[in-house]
Amino acid sequence: MWDNATIMMLVEGTFVTLYMTVVSTLLAYILGLPMGIALVITAKDGLRPNKVIYKVLDIIVNIVRSIPFIILLIMVIPLTRVIVGQSYGPTATIVPLTLAAAPFIARMVESSLLEVDPGVIEAAQSMGANIWTIIWKVMLAESRTSLIVGATIALGTILGYSAMAGAVGGGGLGDIAIRYGYYRYQTDIMMVTVVLLVLLVQVLQIIGMKLSKKLDKRMK
Amino acid sequence: MEPIIQIKNVSKTFIGKENQVEALKGINLDIHKGDIYGIIGMSGAGKSTLVRCLNFLEKPTTGTVVVEDKDLSALKEDELRKVRTEIAMIFQHFNLLMQRNVLDNVCFPMEIVGKSRAEAKERAMELLEIVGLADKAKSYPAQLSGGQKQRVAIARALANNPKILLCDEATSALDPTTTKAILKLLQEINQKYGITIVIITHEMAVVQEICSHVAIIDAGELAEHGTVEQVFSHPKTAAAKKLVFMVNPKATEMQGKRCIRIVFSENSSFEPVIANMVLECKAPVNILLADTKDINGIAHGQMILQLPEDEAIGNKMIHYLKDRKLEVEELDSYVG
């Protein structure tokens, strides 16, 4: 069974999984980061308290986070068709992955930003900093280590979700594992894909942790 | 002379879910240019709220603050931010950016006003030189001691040439030696650059050390204010007495014995006055409290003595001290 075609398929599957994971994470941050910032800013003791915006965001995040990913995957198929033109394959999978990950990322960004010492924010206000300077140069800059740790967790989670998309022909390692392991009883190929997925998560995790540690100046 | 800060009938009420807290009640106070104005009070007296009203980090519920003819309550958001660049502030917990090195921390307020990077760096180095931390420019706050962090905060505060420096319990997290050094630095800044300084503290020692004026805040109200000399020598209100005598009025009272309070000021001569008095009157006294400091060979501060029971000797002692130009006041009930 270890012919060239199988090996090529596994290598391609690994790259497809990485492609889906990385692109979805980036897109999910484009949506989730502003949402997370908005949650912190509009909260009751935030810089611009706004009950309506806060509540709306809070509810959206909670609703999307409560939907099991496999269900969301199917629910958004019409939207995926509109955006990508088809409902299967790696690029199509990016749509539900992004939608599922964005609220999750918003929550993680929110909790990272809430870790920033309110005293430092007050100090910036006392210097006459405007809200954008405070968001960019105080809140995001000061919480960067925590944000990177969050991004590492997000990558791992999205990678896991991408494998789930294999159930509906999403492509990548998860797709291979389901087709060969589940439909054809080729347990060995399934095991190899599982090992590859574990390795991917490990590598991402190590890179993320190293990076966050390197950028953290709070230690002596 | 027109005051640089006018606090006009400032009240602040915090509204909680179930109750309202009146943190400040109708405070009126003028602070003049070049003053080092101490605002002192027990914790919870409202002094931190008051100092935040001076740059409108807290907006007063009623009343207003006028800084150099600008009524802060009448300013728009961006105008207020501009005024804030002229009112620097330092804090009990320093509030430095932990992910930036010392130099970049000092550059931060200059980034806010849009100074060029090169210009900011040059000025920051100059300031670090002034606070004695030029060799730490590339260090991170986590690598510094408390005193060094506060020096960085002071350098940062001076970056945009402020006219006013607000200090919110700036020495409360520091040990006594470091506190002295920081206070000395603040005094130098006041004298060299003519920056008006407002110091919030709960320690009378801080006020005595460097302040020219003092206001005592008690339960949200202005209990007393004036020059440090005035308030320290003749505290009128209970709150002031409590802070000056550093004692708890609820403690059991000393009864039946006469106590006097002596204030040493610049008039006092250079002699061991208490010892001489004891020798002269041939009777012992009990020193209940002594808080004096030697400034240029002259004692400054106060002492509380318990006199012998013999009234004649007691009177003689009071007379002796008054002759030596010390301020003596009999305390009807010293509580210690």
Minimal Cα–Cα distance from B93 to chain A, Å? Answer: 8
Strands of the sheet containing B286-295, edge to edge, are B286-295, B298-306, B259-264, B327-331
pLDDT of residue B269: 58
- Tell me the per-residue pLDDT of A130-187, one tens digit each, with 9 for 90 and over: 999 999 999 999 999 999 999 999 999 999 999 999 888 889 999 999 999 889 999 9
Query: Residue B127 in 3-state DSSP?
Result: helix
pLDDT at B321 over 90: no
Of B150, B128, B170, B221, nearest to B36 (Cα)?
A: B170
| Chain B hits for A216, Cβ within 8 Å | 99
pLDDT of residue B334: 57
Residue A220 placed within a domain: no
Task: Give the domain range for residue A48.
Answer: 4-215
- The band of B306, judged by pLDDT with boundaries at 50, 70 and 90, is confident
| Chain B hits for A125, Cβ within 8 Å | 57, 84
Mean pLDDT of B71-99: 96
- Among B73-77, B112-116, B204-208, B259-263, whose mean pLDDT is lowest? B259-263
Residue A86 placed within a domain: yes
Q: Do A142 and B99 count as a contact with CB atoms less than 8 A apart?
A: yes
Strands B164-168 and B20-31: unpaired
Residue A139 placed within a domain: yes
Q: Do B99 and A144 count as a contact with CB atoms less than 8 A apart?
A: yes
- Tell me the per-residue pLDDT of B221-232, one tens digit each, with 9 for 90 and over: 999 999 998 888
Residue A100 placed within a domain: yes
pLDDT at B251 over 70: no
The overall average pLDDT reported for chain B is: 88
Handedness of CA A218, A45, B57, B86 (dihedral sign): positive
Mean pLDDT of A18-40: 97
* pLDDT more than 70, % of chain B: 92
Q: Is B11 in the same domain as B79?
A: yes
pLDDT of residue B248: 44
Task: Please say which residue of B239, B274, B298 terminates a domain.
Answer: B239
Minimal Cα–Cα distance from B89 to chain A, Å? Answer: 7
Which of A129, A145, A220 is nearest residue B143 as measured by Cβ atoms?
A220
The overall average pLDDT reported for chain A is: 94
Q: Is B169 in the same domain as B283?
A: no
Mean pLDDT of B118-142: 96
pLDDT at B297 over 80: no
Query: Domain with B96 in it: what CATH number?
Result: 3.40.50.300
Query: Domain with A64 in it: what CATH number?
Result: 1.10.3720.10
Task: Give the domain range for residue B284.
Answer: 259-331
| Chain B hits for A145, Cβ within 8 Å | 99
Q: By the 8 A CB rule, do B158 and B85 touch?
A: no
Query: Residue A69 in 3-state DSSP?
Result: helix
Which of B108, B109, B142 is nearest residue A217 as measured by Cβ atoms?
B142
Residue B250 placed within a domain: no
Distance (Å, whole) CA B93 – CA B111? 22
Q: By the 8 A CB rule, do B21 and B217 touch?
A: no
pLDDT at B194 over 70: yes
Length, in residues, of chain B: 336
The token pair at B204 is 């009378």
Residue B228 placed within a domain: yes
- The band of B268, judged by pLDDT with boundaries at 50, 70 and 90, is low
Distance (Å, whole) CA B334 – CA B316? 20
- The band of B335, judged by pLDDT with boundaries at 50, 70 and 90, is low
Which of A120, A127, A217 is nearest residue B84 as measured by Cβ atoms?
A127
Distance (Å, whole) CA A47 – CA A125? 10
pLDDT of residue B259: 83
Which of A115, A127, A133, A140 to mutate against chain B (most B CBs within 10 Å)? A127
| Chain A hits for B100, Cβ within 8 Å | 141, 217
Residue B43 placed within a domain: yes
Minimal Cα–Cα distance from B94 to chain A, Å? Answer: 8
Q: Do A117 and B95 count as a contact with CB atoms less than 8 A apart?
A: yes
* pLDDT more than 90, % of chain B: 60
| Chain B hits for A128, Cβ within 8 Å | 81-85, 109, 112-113
pLDDT of residue B265: 72
Q: Is B150 in the same domain as B180?
A: yes
pLDDT at B250 over 50: no
| Chain A hits for B113, Cβ within 8 Å | 128
pLDDT of residue B291: 78
Distance (Å, whole) CA B105 – CA B100? 6
Say which residue, A207 or B302, is predicted with more confidence.
A207
| Chain A hits for B57, Cβ within 8 Å | 122, 125-126
Q: By the 8 A CB rule, do B220 and B45 touch?
A: yes
- Tell me the per-residue pLDDT of B49-63, one tens digit each, with 9 for 90 and over: 999 999 999 999 999
pLDDT at B296 over 70: no
Q: By the 8 A CB rule, do A58 and A46 touch?
A: no
Bridge-partner residues for B64, per DSSP? B8
Task: Please say which residue of B186, B205, B239 terminates a domain.
Answer: B239
Q: Do B88 and A127 count as a contact with CB atoms less than 8 A apart?
A: yes
Buried b (16+ CB within 10 A) or exposed e, A38-73: bbbbbbeebeeeeeeebeebbeebeebeeeebeebb
| Chain B residue with minimum CA distance to A214 | B99
Query: Domain with B264 in it: what CATH number?
Result: 3.30.70.260
Q: Do A138 and B97 count as a contact with CB atoms less than 8 A apart?
A: yes
| Residue B300, amino acid | H
Q: Is B276 in the same domain as B314?
A: yes
Q: Is B293 in the same domain as B230?
A: no
- The band of B333, judged by pLDDT with boundaries at 50, 70 and 90, is low
Handedness of CA B226, B232, B234, B239 (dihedral sign): positive
Instruction: State the total domains in chain B.
Output: 2
Instruction: State the total domains in chain A.
Output: 1
Sequence-ordered strand ranges (E) for B219-267: 221-227, 259-264
pLDDT of residue B270: 65
pLDDT of residue B302: 81
pLDDT at A200 over 80: yes
pLDDT of residue B136: 96
Q: Is B160 in the same domain as B285?
A: no
Q: Is B159 in the same domain as B83?
A: yes
Q: Is B60 in the same domain as B158?
A: yes
Q: Give the predicted TM-score (pTM) of the model.
A: 0.83
